[in-house]
Structure 1
Amino acid sequence: MQICETERLVIRTLSLDDVPELTNILSDPEVMKYSIRGVCDETATRRFIEWCLERYAAHSIGPWALVEKDSGNLVGFCGISPEEVNGVEEMGLGYRLAKRYWGQGLASESVQAVLHNALNQKQLSSWWLLLSLRMLRRLRLQRKPVFLRSIILNFMAVR
């Protein structure tokens, strides 16, 4: 089921049909370097997609598939889902992109679309951003504050 789209991406629900393609992405150690789950084989990827399907059923939200419009290829996933943090359920945002799509602006494009959709669908009443210094370095945000500024300004306008 399609959730929304951007200029270059169709954002839709993940399905068990995505297991082979998503396994190729999630089995890459570089893609999964900062993941709490670690590298995923086919079984772990299937469990992840089943977990996503449970999130959709329970909360109407979760990690969504990112599909390149031009090719129809699965690029990765991006989405908001409930996570337990210190005994409190919080909404967390996560994404993973196949390495060949890095550096093209697809992460920020998908994050903006996912947040915009969640706020418009009333799945989120507010949002906050917490990045570790390691993540700031990874995203090179010290030199590119435009990424954060554009997300923050776009969503201040939505609220």
Structure 2
Amino acid sequence: MAFCTYKDKMKLFGTLFLSVFVLASCQKQDFFYSDGRGERFSNLSDQVLFINIWADWCPPCIKEFPYFNQINEKKDVSVIGYHFDQFDSLSDSEVNKLIDKFGVTFPNLRDDPRDIWGIDLPENVPTTYIIKNNKVIETITTPLTLEDLENKLASYSTFD
């Protein structure tokens, strides 16, 4: 016959407590980047978010990369890219090679932005969606300069 001592009960209680603590501290990720990192909407909720749909075969897209890299360094803004061909078949590893090739420093999505923010499939690239509080507030279907991005950031930083 097995007996459960006070010491056994305390071990069991400690193990259960630790398990609950570990599970409670794990956060579900809302979406993932092409490098495998996860992200939560709550981490981006107070920021102006630029979602840039780009392609390696698009010269204006490539010209925008340094501007998006620069604006992504600022406070209260995040830039997230998505390669247009990922809508069909481009893999994460292929995207990551292109990111390295073009010196892109902002993260790129693994998950389809249509599923995350309910955006439409763009008809052309580059297309940039500006998001605040998890809502699309503007769609831009022309190439952007650093000045354009700074002006958009200034106008939407106080937008609620």
For Structure 1 versus Structure 2, the TM-score category normalised by the shorter chain is under 0.3
Tell which structure's C-alpha radius of gyration is larger: 2
Name whichever structure is richer in strand by fraction.
1
**TM-score computed with the length of structure 1 as normaliser:** 0.23
Quick one: higher RCO (CA 8 Å, sep 6+), 1 or 2? 2
